[in-house]
Amino acid sequence: MGKLIGISILVASACVAQTAPPQSSASPSTAAAQAPAARPGDVDTIEHLLAAVYDVISGPAGAPRDWDRFRTLYYPGARLIPTRRDVKGTITARILTPEDFVTRGKEIFANQGFFETPIANRVEQWDHMVHVWSTYESRHAKGEQPFTRGVNSFQLINDGARWWILSTCWENEDPGHALPDKYLKQRLQ
């Protein structure tokens, strides 16, 4: 009987620990208030937010990107997650902060042009949450044939004042995994 009571207390303690709210040094609204101010026209609609992301990362080799603008699009604590499939078919993901992406982007964009444009966006929205499947084409120069296509999966939130990106996960198309037709056609909500 004593063992049963001990197990019950252990299980109850685990349940309480799992349901307790996470401890944080700053509430999400406080963290968002401390973020750099965004251009109002970048964050007033879903479409403007996506356009701002594509705009800020695109440009010719060596052209400086507006990384301060980029930072204002992402909610504090946001993540960017490039994924890939290696030659053996193994899927991997790399978790980056916006600052990690800036560091990585500065190195890459210093030596090569990069222009990414959306082909189609599939937007799913409920209340203040949005998921966008944004199919893209990437080029090294405007007007060139794309060197790759893929899908950006954006998770967005509206805090009542503006839109934020919570995370972006992406993968390039490859010969064994072509983009399905449903991601090549525009669908809004």
* Pairing between β-strand 74-85 and β-strand 163-172 as defined by DSSP bridges: parallel
Q: What is the band of 186 on the pLDDT scale with cuts at 50, 70, 90? A: confident
Residues 105-114: pLDDT tens digits? 999 999 999 9
Phi, psi of 167 (to 5 degrees): -160, 155
Q: pLDDT: is 41 or 14 the higher one? A: 41
Distance separating alpha carbons of residues 42 and 32, to the nearest angstrom: 16
Residues 51-108: pLDDT tens digits? 999 999 999 999 999 999 999 999 999 999 999 999 899 999 999 999 999 999 999 9
Residue holding tokens 């964009």?
Answer: 109
Domain spans of the chain, in order of start: 26-183
Q: What is the band of 187 on the pLDDT scale with cuts at 50, 70, 90? A: low
Residues 126-141: pLDDT tens digits? 999 999 999 999 999 9
Residue 123 is inside which H or E element, if any? Answer: strand 115-126
Residue holding tokens 């307790």?
Answer: 20
The pair of three-digit structure tokens given for residue 155, joined into one six-digit string: 């998770």
Q: Between 3.40.50.2300, 3.20.20.140, 3.10.450.50, 3.40.50.300, what CATH number should domain 26-183 receive?
A: 3.10.450.50
Distance separating alpha carbons of residues 106 and 64, to the nearest angstrom: 8
Burial classification of residue 23, based on how many CB atoms lie within 10 Å of its CB (0-12 exposed, 13-18 middle, 19 or more buried): exposed
Q: Does position 161 have pLDDT exceeding 70, yes or no?
A: yes
Q: Does position 29 have pLDDT exceeding 80, yes or no?
A: no
Q: Does position 12 have pLDDT exceeding 80, yes or no?
A: no
Q: What is the band of 153 on the pLDDT scale with cuts at 50, 70, 90? A: very high
The percent of residues in the chain predicted with pLDDT above 90, rounded, is 75
Distance separating alpha carbons of residues 97 and 111, to the nearest angstrom: 22
